[in-house]
């Protein structure tokens, strides 16, 4: 069955998305269009590039996540605070972008022109203009040609956690500078991207959400110092806003994977912890898909005569 997929952000928790995608593959689901925010944008890009879940798992199993924390080689702790002040982030994000670019290039993909039009949507946040941007759609507003824009760059923009990674600078047609940061600031789970006004989709839309449904219990955060405040900020950013707008109808098409024991910025996971996240995503998706697939009949009758 051909479907559209939407992947939420969640930092390192996104390892559960790989397990969920493998469950979908085992059920014969094939992604036509994909969208995502932050780590979900990375997932969407790799899925669109043709990577299967077992390939992604092999890549992650050998990856040292600490390499993403690329910083200047100045052995003076105080310099980190100066960098945060002047660069607006602790880590450059170059390693992340280059890593994604290499993975995509291995499949012959560099820019949005290398994939079918409209098949990949990535969310980022323009904090200068105070608006959400959809990539590649909104790039023309910054004087950029969407089809020539590197997908790895778009993924990096969507993954640029405020204060953590350097924001990306874009300039509009009149030369005004904008700072682009993590899409999760404004929409961590863009399920709305593939929704039609008449709510009758051409094909099923399946959401992969790394948090609980709004009606479920959401744990509180202990905030007693700056580090805990930082973690609580991003946990809230990843969980709160989009869930408020998920109604009962939408929830029927969403696999909820509430990973509660791992922080979004826990880059020192053991191999065992990685496998637990992966298996958790697989189990949640497999349980959900047993009944979800049985209830889907597509193409919808309203679209039988449409291309």
Which 3-state string (H, E, C) describes 145-209? CHHHCEHHHHHHHHCCCCEEECCEEEECCCCCEEEEEEHHHCCCCCHHHHCCCCCCCCCCEEEEE
- 38 flagged as catalytic: yes
Give CA–CA dist 165/159, Å, rounded: 8
Give CA–CA dist 144/126, Å, rounded: 15
User: In the block, which residue shows the tokens 């946990």?
Assistant: 235
Strands 163-165 and 89-91 come out as parallel
Give CA–CA dist 151/104, Å, rounded: 8
Q: Where are the alpha helices (DSSP H) in the chain?
A: 15-26, 39-48, 53-61, 77-87, 94-105, 151-158, 226-243, 248-251, 271-292
- Find the catalytic residue in 4, 8, 16, 38: 38
CA-based angle 155:120:14, to the nearest 5?
50
CB 126 within 8 A of CB 180: yes
- Find the catalytic residue in 4, 126, 182, 242: 182
- 187 flagged as catalytic: no
Residues forming the active site: 38, 182
């Amino acid at each position: 069955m051909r479907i559209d997929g939407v992947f939420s952000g969640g930092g390192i928790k996104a390892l559960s998305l790989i397990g969920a995608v493998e469950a979908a593959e085992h059920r014969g689901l094939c992604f036509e269009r994909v969208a995502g925010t932050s780590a979900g944008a990375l997932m969407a890009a790799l899925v669109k590039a043709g990577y299967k879940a077992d390939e992604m798992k092999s890549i992650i199993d050998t990856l040292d996540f600490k390499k993403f924390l690329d910083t200047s080689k100045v052995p003076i702790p105080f310099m980190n605070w100066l960098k945060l002040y002047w660069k607006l982030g602790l880590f450059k994000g170059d390693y992340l972008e280059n890593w994604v670019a290499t993975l995509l290039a291995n499949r012959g993909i560099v820019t949005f022109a290398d994939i079918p039009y409209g098949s990949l949507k990535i969310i980022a946040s323009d904090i200068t203009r105070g608006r959400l941007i959809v990539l590649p759609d909104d790039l023309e507003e910054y004087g950029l040609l969407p089809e020539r824009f590197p997908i790895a760059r778009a993924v990096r923009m969507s993954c640029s956690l405020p204060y953590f990674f350097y924001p990306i600078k874009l300039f509009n047609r009149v030369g005004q500078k904008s700072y682009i940061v993590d899409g999760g600031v404004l929409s961590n789970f863009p399920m709305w991207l593939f929704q039609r006004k008449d709510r009758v989709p051409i094909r099923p839309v399946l959401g992969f959400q790394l948090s609980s449904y709004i009606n479920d219990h959401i744990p509180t955060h202990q905030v007693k110092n700056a580090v805990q405040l930082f973690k609580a900020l991003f946990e809230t950013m990843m969980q709160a806003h989009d869930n408020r707008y998920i109604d009962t109808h939408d929830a029927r098409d969403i696999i909820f994977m509430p990973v509660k024991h791992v922080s979004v910025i826990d880059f020192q996971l053991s191999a065992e912890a990685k496998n637990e996240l992966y298996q958790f995503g697989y189990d949640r998706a497999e349980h959900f898909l047993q009944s979800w697939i049985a209830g889907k009949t597509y193409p919808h009758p309203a679209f039988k005569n449409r291309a």
